Amino acid sequence: MRSLIIAALAALALPGAGHAAEGTRVQVTGEIIDTWCYYSGVMGSPDAVVGSAHHTCALWCSAGGIPVGLLAEDGTVYMVLKVEDDAQAAGGDTLLRLAAHTVEADGMLYERDGLNYLVVSDVVSDQDITNVNHNDYGNVPSFSIPDPNK
């Protein structure tokens, strides 16, 4: 997975149609998410794979190399390619400290083929886990337990 992230970073820097990809400086506030569970639906609906109810899974996925994303307050998802000066931060244990946290990130936004990529130059604020939803789903949401009859 790390090679995929490195390839994505390289693709953004390669000349395409005669010029390098241009980024836009942005500040985005949102939750650091586990992109696999968020997009695949394997653990339920998008509202079930955020916050404290999904924190442990987000840690496992990040440690396993699944790229992290930033789910902005407006619902936009940004694939995080790099955090601060750590090229390995987008997938792996270097980003575990931010899993499921709401952060304000300052960085460069690159858009290509309908996807949003974010290279975070600074985590301006870390508000910890603000989406506490164990009351709704419990520590392990019931719909995330495989049905033995299937």
Residue 18 falls in which region: left (phi positive, over 0), alpha (psi -120 to 50) or beta: left
Tell me the per-residue pLDDT of 84-139, one tens digit each, with 9 for 90 and over.
877 666 555 557 788 889 999 999 999 999 999 999 999 999 998 887 765 555 55
Q: What is the pLDDT of residue 26?
A: 97
Concatenate the DSSP letters of all residues of 85-143 into one string.
TBTTTTSSGGGGGGTT-EEEEEEEEEEETTEEEEEEEEEEEE-------HHHH-SS-GG
Q: Would the pTM of this model clear 0.85, i.e. be above it?
A: no
Mean pLDDT, residues 50-69 taken together: 84
pLDDT band at 44 (very low <50, low <70, confident <90, very high): confident
**Which of 1, 127, 140 has the alpha carbon at shortest distance from 67?**
1
Only one residue has tokens 């940004």, namely 78
